[in-house]
Structure 1
């Protein structure tokens, strides 16, 4: 899978990175981090890679949020049916908006963005937190020096 993502980024550049990051934020099992590191290794400047990965990943999270908010009746039972989904709903109920600070985590992060929609977190608060933590996650992958 990681070789495929590297080829995707190599073939499509910044848009390929944004697309991989978008899909990685949904429940599609793609590692946006692998695509990000591939972009850096292929010579994409770190600020450009940060921009495109964060943009794509945040848009994927926004899709999750919208699905959770507008499809609450269908999404909440699906979240309840999975372990990560139940945990996301529980954390959102218990901690509220601050639970989104953990939305960068693997496995639980994407269900948290769905749960935020179900919980009807204010959109601007959602955007601010998700863009921040997702961007910081990619920034942590940029090699020093």
Structure 2
């Protein structure tokens, strides 16, 4: 059940909702009955599917961009498209970044980036971030407090 809760929290944190999953991951990482590998995998899968939700929103909701309620104005969309086109699909490795990452996933949907590129690159970036968080937590636990 803990893995599924982490999956859900990671999913929500990757959508446009203001939510974070790292604190929950670190909380569960202190439970010796849970596998760090499984925690990282479940968090990465949930976060990747949350990014896919943003991709889907970008792909299918862009038809409403002329509406007043649409969250991105045309100049913001053009700026994001220039960034994405400048750095290409490899910018998807940075979808783990707060705020910016959601925009990268969203604009990749608007620009109809194929899923065969989107899913592996997003998963790699998000899994690397969670692995780094877990590694850092283990280093701190093994070495004690890193501050003098």
TM-score, structure 2 length as denominator?
Answer: 0.79
- Name the residue aligned to 1:67: 57
Q: Per the alignment, do residues 34 and 72 of structure 1 end up closer, same or farther by CA in structure 2, a change over 3 Å counting?
A: same
Answer whether contact 2:15 2:51 (CA < 8 A) is retained.
yes
SS at match of 1:78: coil
Q: Which runs of 4+ in 1 moved over 4 A?
A: none
Deviation of the 1:136 alpha carbon: 0.4
- Name the residue aligned to 1:55: 45
Distance 1:134 1:120 in 2: 21
Gaps of 5+ in 2: 143-148
What is the RMSD computed on CA atoms of the aligned residues?
2.3
**Alignment length, in residue pairs?**
133
* Pick aligned residue for 1:132 from 124, 138, 144: 124
Distance 1:56 1:82 in 2: 31
Q: Per the alignment, do residues 134 and 48 of structure 1 end up closer, same or farther by CA in structure 2, a change over 3 Å counting?
A: same
SS at match of 1:140: helix
Gaps of 5+ in 1: 1-11
When Rg is computed on C-alpha atoms for both structures, the one with the higher figure is 2
